[in-house]
């Protein structure tokens, strides 16, 4: 079973390396917003697809408790699979699990705004960087690790969360609730 998971991950990483070049186009100051949005959506879709397939493989290999450990070790590197020079990809949340996903000041401002207004994609130009920010809404399967303790999260999963993330804040969610954001940053040349 482990061989299968590693084989699948290797194929995804190879695919990522082969498709990465399509994002190496220069980002210029006069690039229209629509192109940033299109490229941002494409990067988010590819990253989400790669991350979710790897996570499903981890769940299939050892259950949700195993997936927590997998995420602790692999989610952050997988998120960066499609990043290139001049383009960064992040996930962030006000209630983060991994301290690396703690929001910066721009992300925190957008996340707080999303709590009180419609959570919809935003394009923000600031200091030579174009920021494309898109909400992440909790999917039903995510309740197994991000839902309510004692209701959605099994005891062995909670034990794995506590062991991997002692300062975890990322539980108590309901389906379709704002979980966080995707943040694609394009450096303008």
Residue 172 corresponds to which tokens in the numbers above? 């108590």
- Give the residue carrying structure tokens 């996930």: 91
Instruction: Give burial (CB, 10 Å; 0-12/13-18/19+) of 160.
Output: buried
**Exposure string (b/e) for 122-156, b if CB count within 10 Å is 16 or more?**
bbeeeeeebbbbbbbebeeebbbbbbeeeebbeee
Q: What is the H or E stretch that residue 56 is in?
A: helix 33-79
Query: What strands, in cross-sheet order, belong to the sheet with 122-126?
Result: 87-92, 178-187, 129-137, 122-126
pLDDT of residue 27: 52
* Average pLDDT for runs of 10 along the chain of length 189: 41 40 52 94 97 96 96 92 94 96 97 94 95 96 95 96 96 95 95
- Distance between CA 124 and CA 127 in Å, rounded? 10
Show the domain range for 169: 2-19+28-187
- Distance between CA 125 and CA 57 in Å, rounded? 37
Question: What are the backbone angles phi and psi of residue 18, rounded to the nearest 5°?
Answer: -75, -35
Its pTM stands at: 0.83
Split into its structural domains, the chain has a count of 1
- Please report how many Cα atoms fall inside a 13 Å half-sphere around the Cα of residue 123, on the Cβ side: 13
């Amino acid at each position: 079973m482990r061989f299968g998971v590693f084989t699948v991950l290797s194929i995804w990483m190879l695919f990522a390396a082969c498709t990465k070049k399509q994002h190496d186009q220069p980002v210029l100051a006069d690039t229209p917003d629509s192109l940033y949005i299109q490229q941002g959506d494409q990067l988010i879709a590819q990253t989400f697809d790669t991350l979710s397939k790897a996570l499903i493989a981890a769940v299939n290999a050892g259950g949700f408790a195993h997936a927590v450990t997998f995420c602790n070790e692999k989610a952050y590197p997988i998120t960066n699979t499609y990043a290139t020079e001049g383009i960064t990809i992040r996930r962030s949340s006000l209630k983060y699990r991994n301290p690396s996903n703690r929001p910066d000041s721009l992300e925190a401002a957008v996340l707080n705004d999303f709590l009180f207004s419609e959570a919809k994609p935003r394009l923000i130009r600031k200091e030579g960087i174009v920021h494309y920010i898109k909400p992440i809404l909790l999917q039903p399967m995510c309740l197994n690790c991000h839902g309510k303790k004692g209701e959605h999260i099994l005891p062995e999963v909670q034990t794995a969360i506590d062991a991997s993330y002692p300062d975890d804040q990322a539980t108590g969610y309901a389906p379709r609730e704002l979980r966080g954001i995707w943040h694609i940053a394009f450096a303008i040349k």
